[in-house]
């Protein structure tokens, strides 16, 4: 399949509702990716999926640790109020 045909197929998939809402920038990226050989397309797709999975994992971890993060933030603010912190410019290193 020629790359131009592949780009049209990708656009048709978007129009057909496989991807309901695609930004102009993502559409432009898909056009460029669609012009690449299939193995390169797969490599890029794998990177995107891994990045999204990693983002989801971080969101899950932060959601599970919300109380701990709030407690740590509260403690940091209390330490600062007591004068137990230094301005960032005064830190060594």
Closest by Cα among 22, 44, 52 to 10: 22
pLDDT of residue 4: 58
pLDDT (tens digit per residue) in 26-43 = 889 988 999 999 999 999
pLDDT of residue 8: 58
Exposure on the CB side of residue 36, measured as CA atoms within 13 A = 13
Higher pLDDT, 22 or 9: 22
- Does residue 13 surpass a pLDDT of 60? no
Give the global pTM.
Answer: 0.49
Cβ–Cβ under 8 Å, residues 41 and 33: yes
């Amino acid at each position: 399949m020629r790359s131009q045909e592949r780009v049209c197929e990708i656009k048709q998939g978007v129009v057909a509702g496989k991807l309901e809402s695609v930004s102009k920038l993502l559409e432009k990226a898909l056009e460029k990716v669609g012009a690449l050989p299939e193995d390169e397309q797969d490599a890029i797709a794998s990177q995107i999926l891994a990045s999204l999975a990693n983002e989801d994992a971080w969101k899950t971890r932060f959601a599970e640790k919300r109380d701990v993060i709030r407690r740590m933030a509260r403690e940091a603010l209390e330490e600062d109020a007591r004068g137990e912190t230094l301005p960032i410019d005064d830190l060594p290193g």
